[in-house]
Structures are given as structure tokens and as C-alpha cells.
Amino acid sequence: MAQYILRRLALLLPLLLGVSLLLFVLTHLIPADPARLIAGEHAGPEQVAAVRKAFGLDRPLPQQYLIYLAKLTRGDLGVSMRTSSDVGSDLREYFPATLELTGAAMIATIAIGVPLGLVAAIGRGGPLDLLAQLVSLSGLSFPIFFFGLILQLVFSRWLDWFPLAGRLATGNLAPAHITGLYVVDALLTGDFATLRSALVHLALPTLTLALALLALEVRMTRSTMLEVLSQDYMRTAWAKGLVPFTVYIRHGLRNALIPIVTVMGLHANALLGGVFLVEVIFAWPGLGLYSVEGILALDYSAIMGTALLLTLVFVLVNLAVDLTYAVLDPRIRY
């Protein structure tokens, strides 16, 4: 098992290399000059040239790439041309916000999606099933950016139940920095007023982000449960006279968990893509916002740094999913 993990982690390196190369090529294909942006709109040609030199942008491309790699081995992700601060520290600054949002979305997905799928499977063909299917299909078909706007309109503007944007109310101080996740930090420090504010600000973005994932989770749970329910061992359980709860949860759900967990892993993909749009709409100061601004500013270091981080997270999530299989299904051994 340990060997398996090590092998997987070893593959990470060439993967990151490949990703960095791909992105380096992509960003440098963009036919524009980031030195221009740093120097400012009214900068003269000589000012721009000076900036270009200062950031090493005048060197040949392969050399720039190698320099980047060399710095990377020392843990130096470079300096963001836009914010003038170290990309590493920028990422550390903005990562917790995205983590909090995606974490909350995953929790919401499981908390709402699995029971809904379960209920749909059990009440197959009935009104609940139909409702669940409708909800999930709609969730997949709704443009996420549009959904976010609608939520803002209905729940913030009309009903005034939730705030519009941001992580905390203006003037609210962030809780003491332990993890960077406001909800967790507020809990740990007993700062309940801030906890409340953080939760309330988390609600709408989480719901928006979880939309598509939720839909998929419901469908996955439903179809897996349906398969499971038709298996022989289920009939055995019924025959044994067990209570429905035990039958469904202990025997049914547990076996269904594998595909359900797979979906979560696969859809880290969908989550991370959606995070961009959601962070922009709700002014959530996370990686999504940081990288969108980076892309717009042609901030090579920021784009590369963010992409590498995302890849790392992605691969680790997949690894975690695979390992969870092993835990859930004793037949699987690496």
C-alpha cells in the first residue's frame, strides 16, 4: 500500500513538469506584453523596456522557462507582476478562501445529494423520484453564472436573507488566523458573532458552486442505489427480516459508496472550474479571482503558480479517492 502511494506521488513530478510546460507555452503565445501593463498605460517605450528588463522578459523563451524551473526547485514561485508580491505568499493568502468554498460545496453536495438520491431510489418511479430527477437534471442544465446571479437577486435583494458578496461584513475583523478558513477559525476561537457572519456569507456561493455537483451526486446515488437494491444480498437482507433502515443504510448504502465517492473525485474537476465563475460573481477573494485577474494581466508567474497548485490539489484528491476505495472495499488492495 505504501509502495502504491509512493509510486503515485512519484508520478506527480513529471506531471507537474508537463503542466508547467504546457502553461508556459500557452501564456507566452499570448500576443501581448505584460511589461506594458506593469509600466502603466501612459508609459513611454523606454519605460516599458526598462520594466521588461527588470522582470527578465527580454531573455529568450527557453531560457526563461529554465530559469523558472530552477527557481521552482528552490520553492520560489516567482514574483507576481501584478501585485508585486511573492506568488507563493499570494497563493497562501488566497488559497484558504477557495478551500473553504469548495469544502463547503462538497459538504453541501453530500449532505443534500446523497439523501435525495437515496430517497429517489427507494421511492422509485414515485413522485419523489421524479422530483429528484427533475432537480438534478435542471441543476446540470443551468448555467452556473446565471444561477449565482438569480440567487443574489432572490435571496439577497428581494428577501434580504443573505448578504450579497464577500466573506464577512464590511468592518468585521477576520478571526485569528489559524487555518485561514473563517468558519473553522471562528469556531476554534469561540468568536460566534464572526462565525455567524462567515456562515451567512458562505451560503449563496456554496449553493451556486454545489449546483452542478449536487445534480450529479443525486443521479449517481440514485442509479447506484438502484443497482445495489436489485442485488441478491439485498434480498437476503430483506429475507432476514431486518429493519428497512438497516437494509438500506448498512447494506445498501455502504456498497453504493464506491461509485458515489468516485463521483466526488471526478467532479473536483467541475468544482474547480466553477469556482472561477462563482468567485467573480460573489467577490470571493480566493484563487479563482486571483487567477482570473492574473490571466487578464498576463501575469505569467501567477498563472503558472496557480495552475501548478491546482494540479497538485487535483492529483492529491484523485489519490485520496483511490485510497478511500481501498478503505471502503476490502477486496481492493494496492
Partner 1 sequence: MNRHAHDGRLSRRELLRGVSLAGAALGIGGAELERLVRAGQVIAAGDTLVVAQDTSVQTFDPQIVYDNTVRITRGVYETLVALDGSTPRIVPRLATAWTAAPDVRQWTLTLRPGVRFHDGAAFTSEAVKVTFERLIKINRGFAYAFKPVVAGIETPDPMTVRFNLSTPDAAFLAKLASISGGLVVSPKAVTEHASGDDLAQGWLRDHTAGTGPYMLERWDKGQQQVTLTQFPGYWGGWNGSHFKRIIFQIVTEASTQRLMLERGDADVATIVAPDLIDALARQPGIKIAEHPTMRIFYIAMHCQREPLKDPKIRQALSYAFDYEGARQAIFNNRLAPLNGPLPENDPAHLVTPKPYKFDLAKARQLLSESSRPKGGFTLSLFLFQGDPTFRKAAEILQAGLRELNVQVTIQEMTSSVLLDKAGKPETAPDLLPVRNYPDYADPSAMIEATFGKDSWGTAGWNFSFYANDRVERLLAGANKITAQMRRLQMFQEAQLVIVAEAPAIFIGTLINRVPMRSDVQGFSYNPLLGNTFDLYGIHKG
Partner 2 sequence: MRFSTRASGTSFLSHSIRMLARTPAAWVGAAIVAALLLVAVVGPAVTPMNPLRIAPPEKLQFPSARHPLGTDDLGRDLLSRIVAGARISLSVGILVLAIAMSVGVGLGLLAGYFGGWPDEAVMRTTDVFLAFPRLVLAIAIAATLGPGLYNAMVAVALSWWPWYTRLVRGQLLSLRQQEFVLAGVSLGAGPARILLRHLLPNVGTTVVIQASIDVGYAILSTAGLSFIGLGAQPPTPEWGSMIAQARSYLIDFWWYPTFPGLAIFLAVLGFNLLGDAVRDAFDPRLRSLQ
Q: Please report whether residue 221 would count as binding partner 1 according to CB under 8 A.
A: no
29 touches partner 2 (CB under 8 A)? yes
Q: Is 125 in the site for partner 1 (CB under 8 A)?
A: no
Among 23, 24, 34, 272, binds partner 1 (CB under 8 A): 34
**Residue 284 neighbours by CB distance under 10 Å:** 24
23 within 8 A of 309, measured Cβ to Cβ: no
**How far is Cα of residue 312 from the mean position of the Cα atoms in its chain?**
12
Residues 198-237 touching partner 2, rule: CB under 8 A, are 223, 226-227, 230
The Cα–Cα gap between 308 and 91 comes to: 11
314: contact with partner 2 by CB under 8 A: yes
Indicate which of partner 2, partner 1, none lies near residue 85 (CB less than 5 to 8 Å, by partner kind): partner 1
In whole angstroms, how close is the CB of 194 to partner 2 at the nearest point? Answer: 29
What separation in angstroms does the CA of 321 have from each of 8, 53, 235?
A: 13, 45, 29
How far CA 256 is from CA of 121, 172, 217, 261, 270, in Å, comes to 12, 44, 12, 9, 22
Candidates 117-125, 205-213, 263-271, 280-288: pick the segment binding partner 1 (CB under 8 A).
Answer: 280-288
- 120 touches 128 (CB < 8 A): yes
Among 38, 51, 119, 144, binds partner 2 (CB under 8 A): 144
**Element at 151 (helix H, strand E):** helix 144-151
For 167, residues 6+ apart whose C-beta sits below 8 A from its C-beta are 97, 174, 182, 198, 201, 202, 284, 285
Torsion sign, CA atoms 224, 147, 167, 308:
positive
**Environment class of 327 (CB within 10 Å of its CB; exposed 0-12, middle 13-18, buried 19+):** exposed
Number of residues in contact with partner 1, rule: CB under 8 A?
61
Which residues between 223 and 242 bind partner 1 (CB under 8 A)?
A: none
Binding partner 2 (rule: CB under 8 A), the pick from 18, 40, 56, 244 is 18
The identity of residue 101, as a single letter, is: L
CA distance 19 to 13: 10
Q: Does 264 help bind partner 2 (rule: CB under 8 A)? A: no
Kindly state whether residue 52 participates in binding partner 1, applying the rule CB under 8 A. Answer: no
Q: Which does 15 bind (CB under 5 to 8 A by kind): partner 2, partner 1, none?
A: partner 2
For residue 304, what is its C-alpha cell? 503558472
Query: At residue 140, what are phi and psi to the nearest 5 degrees?
Result: -75, -25
* Binding of partner 1 by 32 (CB under 8 A): yes
* H helices, E strands: number in the chain: 16, 0
- Applying CB under 8 A, which of residues 52, 167, 219, 251 lies at the interface with partner 1? 167
Binding-site partner at residue 264 among partner 1, partner 2, none, CB < 5 to 8 Å by type: none
Please work out the total of residues on this chain that contact partner 2, with binding judged by CB under 8 A: 49
Question: From the CB of 284, what's the least distance to partner 1, in Å?
Answer: 10
* Main-chain phi, psi angles of 86, to 5 degrees: -60, 130
Q: From the CB of 48, what's the least distance to partner 1, in Å?
A: 8
DSSP 173: P
Residues that bind partner 1 (CB under 8 A): 30-34, 36-37, 39-48, 50-51, 82-85, 93-94, 96-97, 152, 156-157, 160-174, 180, 191-194, 196-197, 200, 280-281, 283, 285, 293, 296-298
Residues that bind partner 2 (CB under 8 A): 14-15, 18-19, 22-23, 26-27, 29-31, 133, 137-138, 140-146, 149-150, 152-153, 157, 223, 226-227, 230, 268-274, 276-277, 280, 291-292, 295, 303, 307, 310-311, 314-315
